[in-house]
Amino acid sequence: MYINLINHYVPELVILNSYFKEKNGLDNEWITKRTGIKERRKATLGENTETMALKVVRESIPLLPYNISEIDLIIGATYTPFDTVVSLAHSIQNHFNIKNAKAVTVTSACSSFVNAVEIAQGYFSMEKAKKVLIIASEHNTAYSKVSDIQSGHLWGDGAAAIFISKERVTPNDIKIIDVITKGLGNIGQASEAVHLRPLNGGLKMPIGKDVFINAIAHMVNILLEILIKNNMGIDDLNYLVAHQANIRILENIRKILKLSKDKMIINLDKLGNTGCASTPIALSENSNKFSKGDLIGVTVFGGGYSSGALLLKI
């Protein structure tokens, strides 16, 4: 599998930590120290999960090395949908008239993007698709309350578009060496620690400690698993992109893996937790930093719980 293009969009509206002092009593110093977040982006009036996705796809079309009509599978990835009937994938298909594509949307919290890549791999293996568009888009601020002292200050909005082909299309394609995912709904306090119940309070994280402990352990474990499976080690990585949830989680992962700071990609400080879009946004933002031959690891953890990892070769 090959990534032909990866692009991202974040809203223009910047919400600083100082905004929350009046809303939930937390000041800039506390939020920064506990989370690493200094600011985040918030969708403005008229923006939502769907419009952010449409914008990033629209901006990607001129950069794509083939016509978008060649896409034969669209996979939406989100846990904050604008519409639960007309799914994210179907809205993209409708807007761009991609008439020959299958369309499906997956939700596995912050692991959804990596799950989508694995679904693409399955369609390729079954010879049911050749070119896939994955859309990861999250409108976290629509489902969360800024007055929530436990997690209201964590969330940001954003979207990413990832175009993947079964065969190499251009010399600049990024090779997806491997992808693995795991369902972890049977561990810890998975069903209660972080949840989004639209009819019962929205997006909440009442048991953050359980999320914290399991996120560190399982993002480390699944990254090591995919490296060992491919006869590689941590020293082979040029960069690591981990789900952007909390700076203390990222620092613990880095120290456990004995990874130097310059190899850790971080956008959490400026974007907050953008859900399953966090890793593809980070990949897109840092594309100019990567050099030919670089090995990039991606590791994620999602509420519910779940985990996943990718190995990418530039």
Rounded CA separation 93/69 (Å):
10
CB of 81 closer than 8 Å to CB of 105: yes
Helix (H, G, I), strand (E, B) or coil at 30: helix
Our measurement of the distance from residue 286's CA atom to the centroid of its chain's CA atoms, rounded to an integer in Å, reads: 14
Catalytic residues: 110, 243, 273
Instruction: Identify which of 143, 156, 150 has the alpha carbon closest to the alpha carbon of residue 203.
Output: 143
DSSP for 76-97, written as a single string: EE-SS-S-SSS-HHHHHHHHHT
Residues written for the chain: 314
* Phi-psi group of 97: left, alpha or beta (phi > 0 → left; psi -120 to 50 → alpha; rest → beta): left
Tokens of 301: 């953890």
Whole-number Cα distances in Å, 302 to 11, 23, 214, 236, 241:
23, 27, 10, 26, 15
